[in-house]
Amino acid sequence: MGFWFSKTPSLDQFPVTDYAISFALDRLTPGVDNNRYDVYLSDTFCRVADQFILRIIEDNAMPGKDREIAGKESGTVETDQFKNSYREVMLSAINRAKAEREIQVDYIARTAVAKMLIRTIAVCYDKFIANIRLLIRKKENSGRSQMDDSVVLKAELSEILLNKDKIIRATGKIIFEHINDVDQRDLNGIRKSNFGMAGLLPEDLFLNPFLHIEKSNDYFMIDTYDILPGQRIDDADKYDLLLSGIKKYLLSMGRPGFSQKSSKDYGTGNTVTDKQVDAWIKQVENVDILFDFISTRELCRAQRKQGKKRKELKALREKAKRQYRMLKFFYKKFKSSGVVERICASYEIRSVYPEYCPPLIPQVILQFMMVPGIRKSIINRLKRLAQINQVPFSTRSLKRCQKRIKGLRTIEKEAYLIRFFKGFFRYHRDFENFRLLKKAMALVCLAKEEKHIRLSRVNNTLYEFLLSHETTIEENPVISHVILKVDIRGSTDIVHKMKEQGLNPASYFSLNMFDPITEIISEYGAFKVFVEGDAMILGIYEREGCPEGWYSTARACGLAIHILLIIQRYNRKNRKYDFPFLEVGIGITFRNGQPTLFFDGDFQIMISSAINMADRLSGCSKAARKIMDSMDTPFNNYVFQTASNEDVAATSDDISRRYNVNGIELHPSAFNKLSREIRLKPVECVIPKIQSEKIKFFTGIFPTVTGRNQRLIIRESAIPNVHEHDLSLIAMTDRKYYEVCTNAAVYDYFKKHELS
């Protein structure tokens, strides 16, 4: 075979493939803590999973126990229930991902299910142990007749506690194989049809053995990955050292004079990076492609016997030569650092270590073979343990193993190296995938508390995956909202006057103002955001897919007019009883998107910039009022600019001065929204009873929730730049403000002249 190794191998001779995985959650919306994603999984699925996992743990912990026929049948039923409920939960996730055109919704559902199942396995194991202990206490308290049973149970419990890791690993393997079966058979076809190949995650991602261990040990590494890499600082076959070496050697094969960061792959003309090499190592099949000349040679011999064509046999021989060159390259590199000998010893001790482990561990047996200086201390340790446990002791098996290791032929060592690469590549893939999933699961918050669920749901940040019978008809997501702020003035004077007369101001306010307003808000599709004695904030939502409700600004304007009528009626009553008048200012604002909501107990609190702006619009400057009250003003709402144009341009805040006495100001963004909701007809006219100059109005009709039509008249005016001390005009600005008119003379004029 030596003549095969005649030149340095090159990667362009090998059709290696990448291990591809596209898994991330970065496009999803964080939950209420702004860090993790809130997920609520079906209660039914969680309950079915709990029952099924508990049964699997029992089967794994007590495999020798007899099961009645009925018990076996019920086990099959539980398996079907688990798989069916998982299928339905994931279908809800796929459907939501399809509706949102976001595959990461499916990813987070699978991640949340994995996190829930891993957590449930641990909880169910503890529950199973608690059940056995309870049964032991019951038998001990039942008298002498059942003492023997309790002794047997105690022995079984000790064995179960000793095998905790194995039981949990076996249970996790079974559970995740069941969900993988559902994915492969029922769900992946749907994912592929909706999202293409991006919808398919590698099968091994969720069949990862690392998901079911707290800490890896020698037995886990041998049983699961067929490797036993070093753990001590000076071990040449430590995982990180081996990985670094393999990457370095593969990177070096692109061209002479390579850089360890990148090299040139002449087969593709692309730069080979550390990330690219890592993707090759994670693809376990690449071991056969790169190194397994033994299997290729055996295939060549078999095909020669079958009389295959010379051309085909020649291709196989060439392939075997390339593989041998590649293996020999790594063999020499690893041999020079002592790695080959440690790898071979790790396989040779497989027939020996069960005799000494426990009390020792396989790594100690491996060190015995590789480090002559510590052999005496290990033998002395074994002798002491043999005396304590009163068991026979012999080093015969260890010496035989030493002899076998020394006598290994090169071909045997090469076969061991190929075997090691297969386990190492698989280990690296699973370890990196585990880190990826662990990070993803840390970002998932499995919402359980009703308060948390409600808060996340109302803010549209809850990812819910339910069974069909758990799904309720829910309101569509909020896409925009309007805020109406009523600034109530004079209530303190009325309360003081009524208390002087021994009257109840609370019932007076409630019966004559708040109750009548409450009765009308439903007609405009509004709801209360906040109400107290001198302020009332109302909101109107627009929801996705509900065009019949897309009149939020128009209805807010109509509601504001109706509120002013109620206040006027209230003031007429106050005049009758010689109480002070109530005065209001109303501001209406619009924002795209939903507001932020949270709860104080059962009380829902809204956060929105629209509230702050509505507060500005509803207010009234004392300085402006002092001047304006002395004038005969035909309208109820005026806006002035007292700052310089530079100061106005330098801030996004509204620093205008307002006069708003029983008026309704509409924010420009709300006016623009209104013009999209209904047909607004522009009208410029002179209304003699009001003003001698032309005034620009917009008028239109909107439907209330009940279908009644209501007319709106909006006045548009430029904001004047004025002197602050007397509001005298400096110049007119290009900025506009809008008042929802309530002046009866305006409505009469429009009706008389049919301006609609």
All structural domains of the chain, each given as residue ranges with its CATH number in brackets, are 1-14+208-442 (no CATH), 22-201+446-474 (no CATH), 478-752 (3.30.70.1230)
Q: Residue 667 and residue 655: Cα distance in Å, rounded?
A: 14
Q: Is the pLDDT reported for residue 512 higher than 50?
A: yes
Q: What average pLDDT does this structure show over 580-595? A: 90
Q: Residue 421 and residue 326: Cα distance in Å, rounded?
A: 13
The confidence score (pLDDT) of residue 64 equals: 58
Q: What is the pLDDT of residues 146-156, one digit of tens each?
A: 666 777 888 88
Considering 36-50, 190-204, 247-261, 378-392, the range whose residues carry the highest mean pLDDT is 36-50
H-type alpha helices, 443-551 = 450-458, 491-500, 505-509, 515-521
Q: What average pLDDT does this structure show over 453-473? A: 84
37-41 and 462-465 beta bridge pairing: parallel
The confidence score (pLDDT) of residue 305 equals: 79
Extract the tokens encoding 526: 């509004």
The confidence score (pLDDT) of residue 261 equals: 42
729-740 and 583-592 beta bridge pairing: unpaired
User: Phi and psi for 685 in degrees, rounded to 5?
Assistant: -155, 165
Q: What is the pLDDT of residues 724-746, one digit of tens each?
A: 888 888 999 999 999 999 988 89
Q: What is the mean pLDDT of the chain?
A: 86
CA distances from 81 to 63, 78, 178, 283, 286 (A): 22, 5, 11, 35, 39
493 or 245, greater pLDDT = 245
Q: Is the pLDDT reported for residue 109 higher than 70?
A: yes
Q: Is the pLDDT reported for residue 6 higher than 80?
A: no
Lowest mean pLDDT among 164-178, 267-281, 372-386: 267-281
Q: Residue 388 and residue 359: Cα distance in Å, rounded?
A: 11
Q: Residue 363 and residue 220: Cα distance in Å, rounded?
A: 12
The confidence score (pLDDT) of residue 601 equals: 61
Considering 542-551, 580-589, 623-632, the range whose residues carry the highest mean pLDDT is 580-589
Q: Is the pLDDT reported for residue 70 higher than 50?
A: no
Q: Residue 39 and residue 113: Cα distance in Å, rounded?
A: 10
Q: Residue 225 and residue 343: Cα distance in Å, rounded?
A: 13
Q: For residue 642, how many C-alpha atoms fall within 13 Å in the half-sphere facing its CB? A: 16
The confidence score (pLDDT) of residue 192 equals: 84
CA distances from 189 to 21, 467, 597, 620 (A): 18, 20, 39, 64
435 or 383, greater pLDDT = 435
The confidence score (pLDDT) of residue 286 equals: 92
Lowest mean pLDDT among 277-286, 475-484, 643-652, 691-700: 643-652
The confidence score (pLDDT) of residue 378 equals: 87
The confidence score (pLDDT) of residue 174 equals: 95
- pLDDT-derived band at 71 (thresholds 50, 70, 90) equals very low
The confidence score (pLDDT) of residue 357 equals: 85
- pLDDT-derived band at 602 (thresholds 50, 70, 90) equals low
583-592 and 462-465 beta bridge pairing: unpaired
Say if residue 362 is preceded by a cis peptide, omega within 30 of 0.
no
User: Phi and psi for 684 in degrees, rounded to 5?
Assistant: -115, 125
Q: Residue 384 and residue 345: Cα distance in Å, rounded?
A: 25
Q: Residue 285 and residue 674: Cα distance in Å, rounded?
A: 63
**pTM (2 decimals)?**
0.70
Q: Is the pLDDT reported for residue 380 higher than 50?
A: yes
